[in-house]
Amino acid sequence: MEIEKYGIILNVEKYDECVSFYKDLFGLPVLHTKVDGDFRLTSLGIGDAYLLIETGGVASNSEKPVSQNSTKLRFNVSDLPAALGKVREYFSDACIEEYAWGSTINIRDPDGNRVGIRDISSTNS
């Protein structure tokens, strides 16, 4: 099998807020948008991949536990302190967490999905 494109589909309830969150916080470009009745989707570019945000999910007012959503989106960055400055525009109490395996910022999107931002220099993956 030859894979030509890859991505992640994220079904959300707070569609507009989630599209704005990923587009504005991470600077992801809009590749495609489609509206068909109540169904809406927006594809955002992530390097050679895409994040496809679609309606049909269920939001939580707090971070979803692993038992509700076993997936965590992670973005690796070259300058974690600079990323923290941008993240604090959305989450004033965000901080860099230090672990034996590296440094990360843990946040959630408007639907409660877990998102991690990690220092690329502290990881190979």
- Domain 6-56, what fold? 2,3-Dihydroxybiphenyl 1,2-Dioxygenase; domain 1 (3.10.180)
**pLDDT tens digits, 14-42:** 999 999 999 999 999 999 999 999 999 99
The upper half-sphere exposure of residue 124, i.e. CA atoms within 13 Å in the direction of its Cβ, equals 0
Rounded to whole angstroms, the Cα distance separating 119 from 121 reads 5
Name the pTM for this structure: 0.91
Average pLDDT over residues 118-125: 74
What are the start and end residues of each CATH 3.10.180.10 domain in the chain? Answer: 6-56, 71-125
Does the pLDDT value for residue 122 go beyond 90?
no
CATH architecture of the domain covering 71-125 = Roll (3.10)
